[in-house]
């Protein structure tokens, strides 16, 4: 990449201004009231401009991410979806010491059998420019004494429209764990009184490094009744989660017809 002096100078100017405001914040107690009022006005004007930049850049990033979502999908994709946990702000942003079955959003719930409820979930902005998901879900587990921990995510009802055994449901995910831990993804499809399940394990992940993976649930492996489809949901299952943390940085689902030979 060619060196561009004008851009280097602009960046150094911004870095210098940032350092100057940091120094001013440390010297507040020694300022005269008139100086402090003047700087408050300058800081307020600067914050207004920064807020405007962040708002517009967030919109631009959202458009770029949406465009890339379309580019990376397999041919013949007829449905795509990212859960609200990662797609937009939710309220509340987090839950601490949740009971089993506590919902984090309209379409997600945490399930466990830990009597001490020693865990916490929190939605955070996604800082990685290479990730397409605007938000991250952080799961922190402390002295966990239970035998199971899972996050259940309800897929929208339109995921069932036209769904057949010839479809493949594709899950693209990025997960980062703090310590070694096995993570499974189980797709559940309710049809009448029965539920079909397909369970896949995420490949071994290096602690401290984001692991990008693609899993494909081939519905030919099920005996679902296409005429009685009622519900579809995904379970993320964490095995041996005690004193660990997991960041779900991406979870993007789509479906396409299986290639027939």
In CATH, what number is assigned to the domain containing residue 191?
2.60.120.260
- The stretch 197-223 carries a mean pLDDT of 94
Q: Residue 193 sits in which domain range?
A: 78-257
Residues 38, 105 share a domain:
no
* Residue 198 and residue 250 in one domain: yes
pLDDT of residue 3: 46
Give the residue, 199 or 40, on which the prediction is more confident: 199
Residue where a domain terminates, one of 71, 93, 108? 71
131 and 105 within one domain: yes
pLDDT at 226 over 90: yes
Please state which of the ranges 8-22, 101-115, 196-210 shows the lowest mean pLDDT. 8-22
**Residue 150 sits in the same domain as residue 241:** yes
Number of domains in the chain: 2
DSSP letter, residue 143: S
- Judgement on whether residues 110 and 191 belong to the same structural domain of the protein: yes
Tens of pLDDT, residue by residue over 107-122, are 899 999 998 999 999 9
How much is the pLDDT for 26? 82
pLDDT at 5 over 80: no
pLDDT of residue 129: 63
Q: DSSP for 158-209?
A: GGGTT--TTEEEEEEEEEEESS--EEEEEEEEEETTEEEEEEEEPPP--TTS
| Mean pLDDT score, 198-204 | 94
At which residue do the structure tokens 């960041």 appear? 247
pLDDT of residue 8: 67
Q: Tell me what percent of the chain is helix, strand and coil, each rounded to the nearest 5.
A: 30, 40, 35
Quick check: pTM over 0.75? no
Return the pLDDT at 98.
Answer: 94
Q: What is the spatial distance between Cα 88 and Cα 104, in angstroms, rounded to a whole number?
A: 13
Q: Is the pLDDT of residue 57 over 70?
A: no
**Same domain (yes/no): 67, 82:** no
- Domain boundary among the residues 53, 71, 89 is at 71
Residues 245 and 157 reside in one and the same domain: yes
pLDDT of 160 reads: 96
Q: Is residue 64 very low, low, confident or very high in pLDDT (cuts 50, 70, 90)?
A: very low
pLDDT at 60: 54
Kindly state whether residues 123 and 63 are assigned to the same domain: no
Cα–Cα distances in Å, from 158 out to 28, 127, 168, 231?
57, 31, 15, 10
Residues 41 and 154 in one domain: no
For residues 20 and 141, membership in a common domain is answered with no
88 with 166, same domain? yes
Task: Please state which of the ranges 54-63, 223-232, 242-251 shows the lowest mean pLDDT.
Answer: 54-63
Token output for 130: 């290479």
> Are residue 155 and residue 89 in the same domain, yes or no?
yes
Contact 87, 134 (CB under 8 A): yes
pLDDT value, residue 252:
92
**Per-residue pLDDT, 167:** 96
Final residue belonging to a domain, choices 21, 55, 71: 71
The whole-number pLDDT of residue 130 equals: 66
Q: Which of residues 108 and 57 earns the better pLDDT score?
A: 108
% of the chain at pLDDT higher than 90: 55
Ramachandran class of 226: left when φ > 0, alpha when ψ lies in -120 to 50, beta otherwise: alpha
Q: What would the mean pLDDT of 193-216 be, rounded to a whole number?
A: 94
Out of 20-34, 110-124, 134-148, 179-193, least confident range: 20-34
Q: What pLDDT, on a 0 to 100 scale, did the predictor assign at position 142?
A: 92
Evaluate if residue 171 carries a pLDDT over 60: yes
């Amino acid at each position: 990449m060619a060196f561009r002096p004008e851009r280097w100078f602009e960046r150094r100017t911004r870095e210098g201004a940032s350092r100057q405001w940091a120094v001013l914040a440390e010297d507040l107690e020694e300022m005269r009231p008139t100086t402090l009022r003047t700087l408050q006005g300058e800081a307020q004007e600067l914050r207004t401009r920064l807020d405007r930049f962040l708002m517009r850049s967030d919109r631009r990033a959202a458009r770029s991410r949406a465009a890339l979502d379309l580019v990376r999908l397999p041919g013949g994709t007829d449905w795509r979806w990212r859960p609200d946990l990662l797609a937009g702000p939710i309220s509340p942003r987090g839950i601490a010491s949740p009971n089993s079955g506590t919902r984090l959003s309209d379409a997600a719930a945490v399930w466990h059998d830990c009597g001490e409820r020693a865990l916490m979930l929190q939605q955070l902005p996604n800082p990685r420019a290479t990730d397409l998901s605007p938000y991250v879900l952080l799961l922190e587990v402390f002295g966990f004494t239970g035998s199971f921990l899972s996050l259940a995510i309800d897929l929208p009802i339109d995921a069932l429209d036209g769904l057949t055994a010839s479809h493949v449901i594709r899950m693209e995910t990025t997960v980062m764990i703090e310590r070694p831990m096995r993570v499974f993804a189980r797709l559940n499809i309710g049809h009448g009184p029965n539920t079909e399940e397909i369970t896949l394990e995420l490949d071994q992940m290096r602690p401290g490094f984001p692991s990008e993976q693609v899993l494909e649930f081939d519905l030919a492996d099920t005996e679902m009744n296409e005429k009685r489809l009622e519900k579809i949901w995904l379970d993320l299952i964490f095995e041996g989660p005690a004193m660990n943390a997991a960041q779900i940085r991406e979870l993007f689902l789509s479906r396409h017809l299986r290639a027939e030979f």
